[in-house]
Structure 1
Amino acid sequence: MADTANPFFTPSTLPYQLPPFAEIRDEHYLPAFERGMEEQLAEVDAIVRTEEPTTFENTMLPLERSGQILQRVAEVFFNKSSSDSTDFTNALEEEIAPRLAAHQDAIRLNPALSARIADLHARLDELGLDDESRYLVERYHTEFTLAGAGLDDADKERLREYNQRLSTLTTRFEKNLLADTNELAVVFDTAEELAGLGEGELSAAAQAAADRGLDGKYVVTLVLPTGHPWLADLTGRSSRERIMTASRARGTHGGEHDTRDLVLEITRLRAERARLLGFDTHAAYVTADQTARTPEAVADMLGRLAPAAARNARAEQADLQRLMPEGQTVEAWDWAHLTGAVRAEKYDVDFAAMRPYFEAERVLHDGVFYAATRLYGITFAERPDLVAYHPDARVFEVRNEDGSELGLYILDLYTRDSKRGGAWMNPLISQSSLLGYPTVVVNNLNVPKPAAGEPTLLTYDETNTLFHEFGHALHGLFARVTYPKFAGTNVFRDFVEFPSQVNEMWMLWPEILENYAVHHVTGERMPQELVDKLHAAESFNEGFATSEYLAAALLDQEWHRITADDTVDDVAAFEAAALERVGLDNPAVPPRYASTYFAHTFSGGYDAGYYSYIWSEVLDADTVEWFRENGGLTRENGDRFRSRLLGVGGSKDPLEAYRDFRGRDAQLEPLLKRRGLDR
């Protein structure tokens, strides 16, 4: 294919090198992947064939410049496959995933290349490199070593087989889960069955039904976590049970979309691969290159939190039980609904009453963007002239206070059957001065889309999620690095959630809340009394929230602490035993994700790493204390946080960057207080 015929073969000429989505066709992807891999292997071959002595300039710099076509097509394709999948993208992803795994192995297991990197690493003190360049050598050396560079040829071949098979299985897990999630969406015949929902929610359910050709009915699509946000409002217990039962059934009811065999094979192969690489377990392999360093450190922290969380959840459950009719016990599908009643009783807080104050446009512009402007001085302007990958995706240009260009931000807010569950951030173009690249980042959420003309009213949790995901976007936008390897959010997995969790803080910060929490009909601001009650109830139900999260995090660890000699053949039995061992086997408090729909760990790159949310929250809670101690939402504080943490990307050890910002290591106490675990 001629260069002019494939938009991936050359850099985009659009502002910020935004991919030319209007020109991209399905037939462009595979040729771009193939040429991209071929070109990068040729670039690596040129590095190792040079007869000159190994230097940073003839090894690391061309390595960092390599693979630009592949990077362009991969960022666009994998964003599309997760946010707007089709039969074509599903088929191509299954085909290309093992080929990409083999391609990566061809680079990381190249003995001549790893020898050159090892040589540079051994002479680091003699090279006179700046800090970022020195860290680049260190990171490559560590990653190549962990990837198996030191294995003999036979073991390298076994490793390649593991990697390719695992890439196929994890891709299949994601596709099966999406298909099963769509198939298990719950159909209701009448609006009465959905009593308790607001007009916007009913409109979204009716629209979801119409989109499936079920005019006159109502469809409740499932979200990625076990619990559905509408369970809090639905008054009909049987309707709540239907939704919860469908959610928990994903991947377990036989047929082509069952994920249980995938879970078993994935975990077995990961354990075997870990042993090949010199580790007892996959968890040990993963944490060796994270800030945690060992699974024992993870287990120690989670183990300190689990008993108190389980104890608090049992106390909360007893409080809920008094609201149940005689002869009935609190079930998982009752929890959110009863919690709302108890919250209203104890604190007079009604989350449903808040939704009219969380109109999506107002939250975005006068909340999320406004907080970023006050803290960092950046500004946002929508660019309707720039075409994104889907009609619902909107493009915003972001500039620094002095008017200089910062990047593009794309928001894709609404759910659809072609989008995987959850919420996330993706880069499309990642800044690096070596390549002269700018920044383009995407936030994806799954907010139900109301019918045309109806306002989009966010739930409390959806508002929080938008602030959270925008924290990832800021991390991607602010990072200013030399090398592509350190661009944006390319940091340790158990640190990546830290900036996003900090950004959640601004949702309820007084100056921010009063600016966006405005009734979408009356224009009145959210009453201060309601805000005060909300703050008073901040640690309410944290036993449940912490327990459901920890159950998933510990389950992830258990699956990845099995050894290559262990035999597991029953997913449900393994899960039940794992939860029982840590005291989190309360049926009324199921894990946030059960094994069969645990996308984070079986297809999302968080394998043995789901603990990172609460690991990062230690830093987050400690950072919130710092902001409060230093005057809160000020430009001076924002500039410090941006320059010392967000702006360094992955070019510095994250804990070292945190110490540079905070002046010390993070302390656990603020997290314990936040989650009500200090009593």
Structure 2
Amino acid sequence: MLSSFLWFKLVCSQGWCHHLRIYAGQVLKQRSDWIPTFCCAGQREDVYRVVKAFTERGERIGPEATRFVQYLVREFERNGAKLTQTKKKEMEKLKSLIDDLNLKYIQNMNDFTKFLLLSEEELAGMPLEFLKDLEETDGKRKVLLTGYYVTPILEHCKVGSTRKQIAVAYGQKGGNQNVAILEKLVQIRHRLARLLGYSNYSDFAIEPRMPMTSRKVLEFLEEMSEQLSDLANRELTVLKELKMKEEGDAQFGMEDLLYYMKRGEQHKVDLDIGEIKRYFPVKLVISGMLKMFQDLFALRFEEIKDVEVWHDTVRLFSVWDASSSDLLGYFFLDIFSREGKYDHTCVVALQNGCMCSNGSRKVPVAVLLSQCPKEFDGNSALLRFPEVVRIFHEFSHVVHHISNRATFSRFSSLRLEGDFAEIPSLLLENWCYESISLKMMSGFYQDITKSVSTEACQSLKRRRDMFAGLKLKQEILLCLVDQIIHTSENVDIDELIKDLHPKVILGIPLLEGTSPASCFPRIAVGYDAVCYSYIWSEVFAADLFATKFKDDLLNQHAGLRFRNKVLAPGGSKGPLEIITDYLGREPSLQPFIQSRTRNAL
């Protein structure tokens, strides 16, 4: 019931749904006692003792059931089931402190209201539309220090001193307060981990994930950094040459990276993003995407009409195996924007697939949420290309969820750890950059028979990979900081970043006056000790794509084998076991490095 109320709060905004949404909020507020009860279910000693006793009896129950019981034991113990009552209270206190500090860190960033007043000369190079959007004060433009304004200036402003001024001001967003909060957070996380029997917080956070240990993650990040150094050095040489031509003999700093990457992209990639958008009408993208997934994975989607849903723009589909005609599951498409609706693109599991005690199978159900524009006066609503990729990525999660054939609900595909759950979706993103598949989802809005050109498809891929080495180096730097502070005690985070920065970013020092630790929310909230996971997933996805799909994107035999070998098991087998079995060998870094090197310059 709790999840049902939260679901209605997420999607409902009008009519009876709006009233139910309000009612859901009232019930949750009135019955706030449900939430701690729900959250503490994983700490019940009586259940833990029964499960633990069962495992110690050593009964033969099959590999998936054994894995499920092992999961249960581990989750109980990670929730403090083995602790004394005194230590459990200490654990809850530490968790509460962590939650409070997380909130303060984010609030400090949200409360940051500083702005800069800049003249039009100082903003030379900025598009007229951007300047019009800025409030005018005493003959100058008021620039709020939010990503919405800062990123375009760092990408387009021709004045180096302005870029530096903006970068420094933005890099202080959380201030010394947030640095102190982050350092305190790290200390408390270490205390929590030690209380639960781990040597450091990183080992605690990574234990259920693919690498399993912090040492493995550090080795991975260091190897990635080393493998990318040659590419990143060549890219940096190009950027320095561009700066020399435009600004003369000036030192290259972090404030120059985005600007000269954009300049380099303009030199190398012939692509009009505004023009490209006109080839992606929403309905055509969705219909092409659905057809592609059906063809590739031997599925059949059937729309169910005349069914009661929470909004008249929501569509419901059943999913069938194209060969056996077995029902595999259902998904809702709730992709159009409306007031009061959750404003991100994501997938939510409404029901996990599993075997029931009577031998029948409960099929999975998912919903894809997005905020696509609606048609207006008969004009086709259009998607920006990043929105196309995002929807394609998230629908891949839907197919992963529906394809799951695990016995236990716990092994549902949408309950997998992030570094494994993202691999199929990142793999399938590649279809958005290949001509044969992208043409299936595109068509000029005034004449949909004219799909996006092959040259434009190639440019989109080139644009994705331009300066990949330098971009990844920046990401690796932050991932290394995340790992080091969560494996070591009493680290001065600002000093650590100053020391690591030139070592990882090819001699470029940290921009003086900035403090990345004050404005890096992923380390503080949600991705603490696991910032590595996105790069990790990209590496595995690149290997799968290069090995199995690159030369024949629409090969149904390969797609069906992927569905059965990788998507169907969910969490019922170890991720590395699944991927190694599918590849026929250990995964490799090289396909990822090669794919990014191919179009990087």
Please report the TM-score for the alignment, with normalisation by the length of structure 1.
0.70
1:288 has 2:210 as partner: no
Deviations 1:50-83 (CA, angstroms, capped at 9, x unpaired):
xxxxxxxxxxxxxxxxxxxx6xxxxxxxxxxxxx
Aligned to 1:122: 56
SS in 1 for 2:549: helix
Residue pair 1:349, 1:534 contacting (<8 A) in 2 also:
no
- Classify the secondary structure of the residue corresponding to 1:228: helix
Q: For this pair of structures, how many residues does the alignment match?
A: 573
Deviations 1:454-485 (A, max 9, x none): 98765554543443333334333433444332
Contact 2:353-2:412 within 8 A present in 1 as well:
yes
Cα pair distance change 1:464/1:293, threshold 3 Å: same
Give the residue type in structure 2 aligned to 1:140.
L
Of the three residues 525, 535, 539, the one matched with 1:618 is: 539
Match of 1:411 among 323, 335, 341: 335
Q: Which residue of 2 aligns with 1:602?
A: 524
Secondary structure of the 2:316 match is: strand
> What does 1:458-477 correspond to in 2, within 5 Å?
460-477=385-402
- Are residue 139 (structure 1) and residue 71 (structure 2) matched? yes
SS at match of 2:572: coil
Distance 1:490 1:584, change over 3 A: farther
Change in Cα spacing, 1:11 to 1:342, as seen in structure 2 (3 Å) is closer
Distance 1:143-1:10 versus aligned 2 partners, 3 A rule? closer
Check 1:677–1:114 CA distance in 2 against 1; reply closer, same or farther (3 A cut).
farther
Change in 2 beyond 3 A, CA 1:381/1:589: farther
Counterpart CA distance in 2 for 1:191 and 1:29 is 50
User: Which stretch of structure 1 is more off in the superposition, 131-140 or 307-316?
Assistant: 307-316
**Given that residues 115 and 142 in structure 2 are in contact (C-alpha distance below 8 angstroms), is that contact kept between their aligned partners in structure 1?**
no
Give the alignment partner of residue 454 of structure 2, picking from 519, 528, 536: 528
> How big is each residue's C-alpha offset from its partner over 1:266-298, in whole Å with a ceiling of 9 and x where there is no partner?
211101111212222111112222221211111
* Paired amino acid for 2:540: L
Q: Which runs of 5+ in 2 are unaligned?
A: 136-140, 357-361
Maintained 8 Å contact 2:466/2:599: no
Greater CA drift, 116-125 or 311-320 = 311-320
Kindly indicate whether residue 30 of structure 2 is the aligned counterpart of residue 29 of structure 1. Answer: no
The Cα shift of 1:23 comes to 3.3
Counterparts of 1:145-184 in structure 2 under 5 Å?
A: 145-178=77-110, 180=112, 183=113
Match among 173, 194, 217 for residue 250 of structure 1: 173
Cα gap change, 1:493/1:638 in structure 2, threshold over 3 Å: closer, same or farther?
same
Alignment of 1:573-612 (within 5 A): 573-580=495-502, 582=504, 586-587=508-509, 594-604=516-526, 606-612=527-533
Aligned equivalents of 2:146, 2:466: Cα separation in 1? 25
Deviation for aligned residue 1:546: 1.2
Take 1:551 and 1:448, find their aligned partners in 2: how far apart are those partners?
37
Q: Which moved more, 1:325-334 or 1:131-140?
A: 325-334
Look up the match of 1:113.
47
Which of 248, 258, 262 aligns to 1:326? It is 248
The answer on whether the counterparts of 1:279 and 1:285 sit within 8 Å (CA) in structure 2 is yes
Question: What amino acid is the match of 2:367?
Answer: V
TM-superposition CA deviations, 1:555-574 (whole Å, max 9, x none) = 211221123xx2x5x64334
Identity, in percent, stands at 20
* Counterpart-to-counterpart distance in 1, 2:383 and 2:117: 22
Counterparts in 2 of 1:475 and 1:410: CA distance versus 1, 3 Å: farther
Query: Is 1:427 the equivalent of 2:348?
Result: yes
* Contact 1:441 1:477 survives alignment (8 Å): no
What amino acid does structure 1 have at the position aligned with 2:234? A
Q: Contact 1:414–1:449 at 8 Å: present in 2 too?
A: no
Query: Counterparts of 1:150 and 1:665 in 2: how far apart (Å)?
Result: 36
SS at match of 2:20: coil
How far is the alpha carbon of 1:110 from its aligned partner? 3.0
Q: Which amino acid aligns with 2:330?
A: L
- AA at the equivalent of 2:47: L
Query: In the TM superposition, what are the counterparts of 1:214-233 in structure 2 within 5 Å?
Result: 222-223=146-147, 228=151, 232=155
| Whole-angstrom distance in 1 between the partners of 2:173 and 2:475 | 19
Residues 34/141 of structure 1: CA separation in 2 closer, same or farther (3 Å cut): farther
Say if 1:562 and 1:596 are closer, same or farther in 2 by CA, change over 3 A. Answer: same
Contact 2:370 2:391 in 1 (8 A): no
Q: Does 1:307 align with 2:226?
A: yes
Deviation per CA, 1:464-517, whole angstroms, max 9, x where unpaired? Answer: 344333333433343344433222321123212212211211101222222334
Give the conservation status (yes or no) of the 8 Å contact 1:191–1:218: no
2:359 aligns with none
Aligned to 2:578: 657
Task: Tell me by how many angstroms 1:545 deviates.
Answer: 1.7
SS at match of 1:608: coil
Contact 1:331 1:587 in 2 (8 A): yes
1:654 Cα offset (Å): 1.8
Q: Retained in 2: the 8 A contact 1:411–1:442?
A: yes
3-state DSSP class of the match of 1:494? Answer: helix
Q: Aligned in 2, Cα 1:277/1:369: closer, same or farther, shift over 3 Å?
A: same
Aligned to 2:309: 386
Q: Hey, what's the Cα distance between the residues in 2 that align with 1:309 and 1:414?
A: 43
Displacement after TM superposition at 1:248 (Å): 3.0
2-side partners of 1:143 and 1:354: how far apart? 50
Is the alpha carbon distance of 1:248 and 1:452 closer, same or farther for their aligned partners in structure 2, counting shifts above 3 Å? farther
Residues 469-478 or 111-120, more deviating: 469-478
Matched, 1:546 2:542: no
Displacement of 1:614 in angstroms is: 1.9
Residue 624 of structure 1 and its aligned partner are, at CA, apart by 0.3
Contact 1:378 1:398 (8 Å CA) reproduced:
no
Q: Which residue of structure 2 aligns with residue 55 of structure 1? A: none
CA contact (8 A) 2:5 2:24 kept: no
Q: 1:318–1:618: structure 2 CA closer, same or farther, 3 Å change rule? A: closer
> Which residue of 2 is the match for residue 504 of structure 1?
429
1:114, CA displacement in angstroms?
Answer: 1.6
Structure 1: give runs of 5+ residues left out of the alignment.
Answer: 39-69, 71-98, 211-216
Cα deviation, 1:560-618, whole Å, max 9, x if unaligned, reads: 1123xx2x5x643343234356556735899xx943333333222x2211111122223
On the 8 A contact 2:145/2:170 being kept in 1, the answer is no
Judge conservation of contact 1:169–1:262 (CA < 8 Å) in 2. Answer: yes
2:559 maps to 638
Kindly indicate whether the alpha-carbon contact (under 8 Å) linking 2:269 and 2:462 is maintained by their aligned counterparts in 1.
Answer: no
Name which of structure 1's ranges 287-296 and 301-310 shifts more when overlaid on structure 2.
301-310
Q: Report SS of the residue matched to 1:274.
A: helix
Q: 1:630 to 1:30 in 2, by over 3 A?
A: same
Instruction: Work out whether residues 234 and 240 of structure 1, in 8 Å CA contact, stay in contact via their aligned partners in 2.
Output: yes
Give the distance between the partners of 2:158 and 2:302, measured in 1 at CA. 41
Normalised TM-score (structure 2): 0.78
Cα 1:649/1:171, change in 2 over 3 Å: farther
SS in 2 for 1:284: helix
Match of 1:515, as an amino acid? Answer: M
Letter in 2 for 1:361: V
